[in-house]
Amino acid sequence: MKTYFVTGTGTGIGKTYISALLAREAVRAGLRTAMMKPVQTGMKDPFNGDLGEIRRKEPRVLDIPPGLACPYCLEYESSPHLAAEKENVEIQFSRIRDCYDQIVKEYAPDIVFLEGAGGICVPVSDKILTAELIQYLGFETIIVAPAGLGAINHTLLSLEYLRNRNIRVTGVILNQFSNPPTEIELDNIRMIESFGKVDILAKASDGAAEFSECSLFRQ
């Protein structure tokens, strides 16, 4: 079984869209696919948010109850730390891990994707960042970044930050490519691979993604 934490270089760059594409490719490869969103903000029902969007785009993912798929669903639309503070909730890493372990035990997935909230330095409390949650869980990460101007800097910084914390990065998915891709977008692929010593797992644009030959979806 494989597990990946899907994070990003920022907010609003299409992590949910990419998570749905990852789910689709995994299901197409014949894998029992589970999706988790450890922390969702801005609503009471997590299926009205990112998990619901993923399920609409790929309804063949495993049907997991919202309380397991999303251990913390907070109403205030903000960074997790502020939403939790407003509801007097303490986000506990152990609870997230327990939900993950229960999903593995009861649903026997071949692959699990956990979508983070925002980027790796988004706080989950006034003392803890998302990167520390990833480190605690011990899962490999997939970084989602926009394909255009700024991608090199933001992606390399994210890689450096994760690697300094001994968090393994499986690869990068570049999203929001133009059609056709611009010279800058194509050059960003080359520079990120070269400086970051990392694989570009996929190039995505609205409605489709071109995945590279990798072991991501192999049983």
Among all residues, which ones are annotated catalytic?
37
- What one-letter code names the amino acid at 153? N
Name the nearest CA neighbour of 70 among 106, 105, 102, 45.
Answer: 45
Count of Cβ atoms closer than 10 Å to residue 192 Cβ: 24
Measure the CA dihedral 173/176/181/182, to 10°. Answer: -110
Structure tokens, 169:
């990065």
| SS3 state of residue 196 | helix
> CA-CA distance, 79 to 101, in Å (whole number)?
25
Q: H or E element: which one contains 174?
A: strand 169-175
Count of Cβ atoms closer than 10 Å to residue 115 Cβ: 27
The end-to-end CA distance of the chain, in Å, is 8
Name the nearest CA neighbour of 71 among 99, 105, 102.
Answer: 99
In 3-state terms, the chain is what percent helix, strand and coil (to 5)?
40, 20, 40
